[in-house]
Structure formats: structure tokens, C-alpha cells
Amino acid sequence: MAVVGNLSNEQIISAYKTAIRARTLDLKITSSQRQGIIGFHVPNEGQEMIQIAIGMLAEKDDLIFNYYRDLALLLQRGVPVSLIFDQLLGNGNDLQKGRQMPDHFSFREFNFSTVQSPVGAHLPLAVGAAYSMKYNKKKGITIATFGDGATSTSDFHAALNLASVFNLSVLFVCENNGWAISLPVSKQTKAEIFNKAAAYGMPGKRVDGNDLISSLAGLEEAFSYVRSGKGPYLVEATTYRIGPHSTSDDPKKYRIDEITDGSDEDPIKRLENLMLKMGVIDHNFIQSTKAQAKEEMDKTLEERENVSPVPPESIFEDVYERPYWMQEEERRDLYDSD
């Protein structure tokens, strides 16, 4: 676990590398979508710092109920890029057998739960998981991430209320990137998101999610509060969605970009500038890190594209533990001659 007060150079460098890998991967996925290799993508650009900070503070035993825009968190927690591409491609090696559209990951070995499209619907699940951990006296807390749009859902309300009533160890982290597709956060809610915690009788705070050090400093208190069994905590991390909502979205229709890729406000650039100033890295290091990341992503995607597809009949599996007669009959129907 990182402690901001004595964050080592190695830790900062490692975080920087993850950020570069995440950004490079993100851009690679978007360009692959444009080429028709990957079907869809929800870009992660801009949200790397808060995600890496969560990953640095989370323990192995913590359960994470992430949402569909958490690529850097996956990398920080050690999920191999090859498995990420397998999911994005829906190939025969995808752990989920090609059942979900891109970015709807589930990496159980890394204690990531499962991602759904309906926004916020994973939050009550996180509460149930926390209940289960407490009941079974297991180590670890539950961490749930979500966007600003999710704070308007009934699921958000239900989850924060339940976690608080049952005094469960859930850390809620809202990655407030300012936009829910085309809706600015000012139209999403009139209240400050972190202030909503008060309505549930739990502490809440806002952190600068575009700054690694502020994110770590802010999260540290929240993590230790939840870990000590005092109950749930709501953190609002302000960040910015640099890209579109998804590869099907054109933000030019509804906003003027406030932060652009590589500008001085870009969270990665901010970290880079800080590290340069501190003398922790130099320009050569930046260049080689980016080159390495690019090579890693290019090579891995090329390799994963050659993985065989999911067998067609597998679409009838895992509906139930054992299929009912309808799935059996329909599976046979797939291969019946005319």
C-alpha cells in the first residue's frame, strides 16, 4: 500500500508507466475500432490517475466492482493486456466466451466483478458482496467505481443507503468526468456529488482525480476509514473524459473539449511535468516508455487477432448450470439441415 508521505520514486515511475500503457492501449483500441478489428470502445483517456491511485491502494483481497471505463485500473491491478484484447475481440480465449461487447470485463482472478451496460446497476451487487465478506469474516473491502451519470440512478441511492444501514465496508468512488454521454454534470445534479454522502449518513469527499498525488492523498483516508470497519465512504474524483463517450459518439455536437490529449491539463502530462521537475525522469525515459508501450500493444493485438474464434454452439452454454430442453433443442436447430 502506498503512503503519500513516503511515496518512492519507483512507485511514481511505475504509476507513470501504467498510465502510459493505459493511454496507449486506449488509443490502440480506438484506432482498431476505426479499422474494423474491434467492434466498439468506450475510451478511457483522461481518467488514468484516479484509477491508478485506486489500484495502488487496493489490496489483493479487495473486491472491485468497476464500470466499463476503468482500463487503467485493470492494468494497475495486473490484468494482462492479452486478456484485455481477448475480451475486446470476443475470441476463443476470452474468459467470458465472447458473450459481452467490448469493455464489459470480468477478471475474477484479479477480484474484478462483472460489468453490465445499465449504468449503476452493479452498485447494489457490491453491497451484497460486502455483506457476504462480512458474514464470512473475510479479509478485504469492496470498492465500487462508477461515473457521474450513475449518481442519478435508483441503484446508486439503494446501494449507498443499504451499505450505510448495514454498516458495510464499501468504498464508493465516483469518477466524475463531467459528462454522461452528452449531458454535463451540471444538468445531472444540482448537488455536489460528494455531498450526497451526507444523505446516507456516511462521509464523503472530493479529490482531484486528474492528479495522482491528490488522488492518493484523498483516497488514503477513505480507504483506511472503510478498512477499519467504520462503514462506507463516498469519494468523488473530478476528472475529464478527453475522448467521446464511445466510438459511436461525436462530442463535437454537444461540447467544446476542455482538456485535450497531450495538453498541459492532460493528467498524464501533469504527472510527467511534475516528474521532470523533480528530476525523477528525463525526456529519453518518456520517449522509451511510450515506445515500449506502443510496441507492447501493437504486438499483443497482432498476436491475439490470431486466436481462434469462440465455437458457435457455445452460445447455448452457461444460460443455466445445466441447459434446459429449450437450449438443447435450439442448439440442435443450429446445425439442422434444411
Partner 1 sequence: MKDLTGCRRKRGGIYTTQINIVQSLNKTLDMLMADDERVVLLGEDIGRDGGVFRVTDNLLNKYGEERVIDTPLSELGIVGMATGMGMHGLKPIAEIQFQDFIFPAFDQIVNNMSKIRYRTGGRFSVPVIIRTPYGGGVKGGLYHSQSGESYFAHTAGLTVVTPSNAYDARGLLVSAYKKNDPVIFMEPKRLYRAVKSEVPDSLFEVEIGKAAKLKEGDDVSIITYGSTVPTVLNAVEKNGVNADVLDLRTLLPLDVSAIVQTAKKTGRVVIVHEAPKTLGIGAEISALIAERAIDSLLSPIFRVTGYDIPFPYSHEELYLPDERRIMRAVKKALSY
**Site map (CB under 8 A) of partner 1, residues 84-113, x = contact:** ----------xxxx-xx---x-x-x----x
> Whose Cβ is closer to partner 1: residue 324's or residue 335's?
324
Pairing label, strands 183-184, 63-65: unpaired
> Whose Cβ is closer to partner 1: residue 202's or residue 297's?
202
Q: For residue 318, state whether it binds partner 1 (rule: CB under 8 A).
A: yes
Q: For residue 116, state whether it binds partner 1 (rule: CB under 8 A).
A: yes
For partner 1, the binding residue among 6, 136, 284, 308 (CB under 8 A) is: 136
Cell output for 248:
459511436
**Is 145 within 8 Å of 70 (Cβ atoms)?**
yes
Half-sphere exposure of 237 (CA within 13 A, CB side): 36
Q: For residue 288, state whether it binds partner 1 (rule: CB under 8 A).
A: no
Site for partner 1 in 17-56 (CB under 8 A): none
Q: Quick one: which of 45, 7, 6 has its CA closest to 25?
A: 45
Q: Could you tell me how far CA 210 lies from the centroid of its own chain?
A: 15
Q: Quick one: which of 154, 162, 156 has its CA closest to 174?
A: 156
Cell numbers 494482462: residue: 80
Enumerate residues 6+ apart whose C-beta is below 8 A from 6. none
Cell output for 51:
484509477
Q: Which stretch binds partner 1 (CB under 8 A): 66-74, 180-188, 189-197, 325-333?
A: 325-333
> Whose Cβ is closer to partner 1: residue 252's or residue 322's?
322
CA–CA separation, 122 vs 242, rounded Å? 24
Q: For residue 132, state whether it binds partner 1 (rule: CB under 8 A).
A: yes
For partner 1, the binding residue among 70, 155, 175, 272 (CB under 8 A) is: 155
Nearest distance from C-beta of residue 187 to partner 1, angstroms: 23
Q: Which stretch binds partner 1 (CB under 8 A): 73-81, 158-166, 282-290, 299-307?
A: 158-166
Q: For residue 126, state whether it binds partner 1 (rule: CB under 8 A).
A: yes
Q: Could you tell me how far CA 88 lies from the centroid of its own chain?
A: 14
Site for partner 1 in 164-193 (CB under 8 A): 165-166
CA–CA separation, 86 vs 101, rounded Å? 11
- Which residues make up the interface to partner 1 (CB under 8 A)? 63, 94-97, 99-100, 104, 106, 108, 113-114, 116-118, 121-133, 135-136, 154-155, 157-159, 161-162, 165-166, 317-321, 324-327
